[in-house]
Amino acid sequence: MSGKDHKKEEYKKVEKERISAFEPPTFILGMVLSVLSAIICMQIIAKVGVTPNTSIIGAIVAMVIARIPMQSFSKFRSLERQNLIQTTVSAAGFSAANCGFLAVSIFFILGETSFIMPMAIGSLIGVVISIFVVGTIYDSSIFPAEAAWPPGVATAQAIQAGDEGGSKAKRLLQGLILGAVGSHFNLPAAGIGIVFIANIFSMAGLGIGLILRGYSTIIFNGLDLGTTYIPHGIMIGAGVMALLQSLKSIFGSSKDDEDKSVNYTQSDKKTKRNLGMGIGLFLLGALVLAIVSGIVTEMSAGKFILWLIWATFSSIAAMLLVGMAAMQSGWFPGFAITTIFMTIGIFFKFPVIPLALLTGYVTSVGPCFADMGYDLKTGWILRGEGKDKEYELYGRKQQVIIEIIGGIVGVLVVMLTMNIYFGSDLMPPVSRVFATTVSAGADIDLMRTLLIWAIPGAVLQLIFGSKKMVGVLFATGLLINNPIYGIGVLAAVVVRLIFGTEFMEIRDAGLIAGDGLYGFFSALIKAMF
């Protein structure tokens, strides 16, 4: 047998290895890298304002370690071990920066430092619940494994290309170089790559929204959409409609629909049950947060019950909406969607502290749900795209376990290091926005604007349906001031319509990975110096 044939045979042997999340080498390496990922991502979000997806970083580190010429590191040539490493690394980075650090910083800015630790506990609860829930409803009719989940595809293709070499590696390298160069010149390389993986309607809606927001003063004769709540209203309408559409597809399914759902590893019946369990867990989490923070005594019984109901609904709704957007486009509009539920909470006249706690709790659920979806997509591809159901379910379970552990590590790192950042006045810019908003109070004109513009948002989402998420992605674009990204996305949409996607296979993943890697290291350098 030739060396090449031997390698192929070895690949076949490890392809279906059942690797436990607690296997010592994988677990220990994952924990070390998770701590580093959490610290780095906190530094980046505090100084740069955004956090890169660290999945590809974890995957590359695992691939490099696998090539160390020592027997103890040869185990990491296993694709599933590399997958578990990238899963825990990305979980720690996301939970630390986008969830825990963002949530606790709200209270430091408000000057209410006694609530920082209760908020950290609440954030930890939200992170764990959201990761657990996505593990139970992934590969269902509302979150199918075969959907886009673009960053997950990019990570899987990078791991496969690194393992197999040849033409795949060449295509990936081409994409990596182009992605890095594009990122250097502030071109939307990742967005272009995502267009060739994601739903084309979703991406078109996102692109149009980005352009309208970025050039609104020109298009609308001086009106700056960024200074209005029109985008928020459209998001509310689109979001509510998307939730109704999804719930209808699950809870309104007929017997024929149930029969069709056997193609998924999670049937509609199981999904209904698991969503109900998710609601119960979020309610319990909100109750624990209320008790440890002491806000039970700050509100009347009626107001407290309303707070519990709204915190529960906002959490499950935000999680599902962020997950749907992430699934179709690779974007997770956690900030935008949290803002909507926070704004409505203002009109319920919740006191500042309960409102801030609600905001931190809700903001902790969406990012980790999206990240877990990406990671499970990576695993689904590496494990053979669900062809061996038993093997897929085992691998998915291990990913959920190690993602939960990574998420816990991320929030614990926040608890242990946050005072260092606070002492240097380093906090996520989004936290300052949340703190300012919860202190502002209600405005009846604002509510009127939200309700009026919710109508076109709902209509747009209704027309294109829940599978395309055009309404939600259009609203997401309106909430983000990045017109160059929108131009790149729409240009890529046109190219895809004319030439198809075949010529971009693997290269699209390279663009996403190259953009992410360059963005990560450039942001890291900025954060350090």
Neighbours of 294 (CB within 10 A): 12
Phi, psi of 266 (to 5 degrees): -115, 115
- Secondary structure of 48-78 as H, E, C letters: CCCCCCCHHHHHHHHHHHHCCCCHHHHHHHC
pLDDT of residue 527: 62
Question: Residue 277 — pLDDT band, cuts 50, 70, 90?
Answer: very high
Residue range of the domain that includes 217: 18-528
Lowest mean pLDDT segment, chosen from 111-125, 162-176, 433-447? 433-447
Strand, coil or helix: what is 152? Answer: helix
426 neighbors 114 (Cβ within 8 angstroms): no
Residue 48 in tokens: 């740069």
Whole-angstrom Cα distance, residue 523 to residue 496? 31
pLDDT of 186-225, one tens digit each?
Answer: 888 888 888 888 788 988 998 999 999 999 999 999 999 9
Lowest mean pLDDT segment, chosen from 63-67, 353-357, 358-362? 63-67
In order of 33, 145, 389, 427, the CA distances from 385 in angstroms are 27, 8, 9, 40
Ramachandran class of 221: left when φ > 0, alpha when ψ lies in -120 to 50, beta otherwise? left
Q: Name every residue whose Cβ is closer than 8 Å to that of residue 169 and which is 6 or more positions away in sequence.
A: 161, 162
Is 1 among the domain residues? Answer: no
Residue 95 DSSP code: I
392 neighbors 380 (Cβ within 8 angstroms): yes
Q: Which of 24, 36, 149, 157 is nearest to 81 (CA)?
A: 24
Whole-angstrom Cα distance, residue 208 to residue 385? 33
Asked if residue 54 has pLDDT above 60, the reply is: yes
Is 51 among the domain residues? Answer: yes
118 neighbors 293 (Cβ within 8 angstroms): yes
Which stretch, 251-255, 337-341, 415-419, 422-426, has highest mean pLDDT? Answer: 415-419
Residue 58 in tokens: 């974890």
pLDDT of residue 9: 43
Whole-angstrom Cα distance, residue 130 to residue 366? 7
pLDDT of 374-391, one tens digit each?
Answer: 999 999 999 988 888 999
CA-atom Rg of the chain in angstroms: 22
pLDDT of 464-495, one tens digit each?
Answer: 887 777 888 898 788 778 899 899 999 999 99
Q: How far is CA 129 from the centre of its chain?
A: 14
333 neighbors 363 (Cβ within 8 angstroms): no
Whole-angstrom Cα distance, residue 160 to residue 143? 24
Is 2 among the domain residues? Answer: no
pLDDT of residue 14: 41
In the chain, the largest separation of any two C-alpha atoms, in whole Å, equals: 77
pLDDT of residue 74: 76
Is 119 among the domain residues? Answer: yes
Number of domains in the chain: 1
pLDDT of 281-317, one tens digit each?
Answer: 999 999 999 999 988 878 889 999 999 999 999 999 9
Q: Which of 369, 329, 372, 374 is nearest to 197 (CA)?
A: 329
pLDDT of residue 131: 94
- Secondary structure of 346-400 as H, E, C letters: HHCCCCHHHHHHHHHHHHCCHHHHHHHHHHHHHHHHHCCCCCCHHHHHHHHHHHH
pLDDT of 311-335, one tens digit each?
Answer: 999 999 989 888 888 888 777 777 7
Q: What is the mean pLDDT of the chain?
A: 84
Ramachandran class of 482: left when φ > 0, alpha when ψ lies in -120 to 50, beta otherwise? beta
pLDDT of 77-93, one tens digit each?
Answer: 888 888 999 999 989 98
Instruction: Count, in order, helices (H) and strands (E) of the chain.
Output: 24, 0
Q: Which of 289, 281, 20 is nearest to 136 (CA)?
A: 281
Terminal Cα-to-Cα distance of the chain (whole angstroms) = 53
Q: CB-side exposure of 463: number of CA atoms within 13 Å?
A: 12
pLDDT of residue 13: 43
Phi, psi of 497 (to 5 degrees): -60, -35
Whole-angstrom Cα distance, residue 327 to residue 333? 12
Whole-angstrom Cα distance, residue 216 to residue 210? 10
Asked if residue 49 has pLDDT above 70, the reply is: no
Q: Which of 282, 340, 274 is nearest to 472 (CA)?
A: 340
- Secondary structure of 181-212 as H, E, C letters: HHHHCCCCHHHHHHHCCCCHHHHHHHHHHHHH
Asked if residue 11 has pLDDT above 50, the reply is: no
pLDDT of 254-267, one tens digit each?
Answer: 555 555 555 789 88
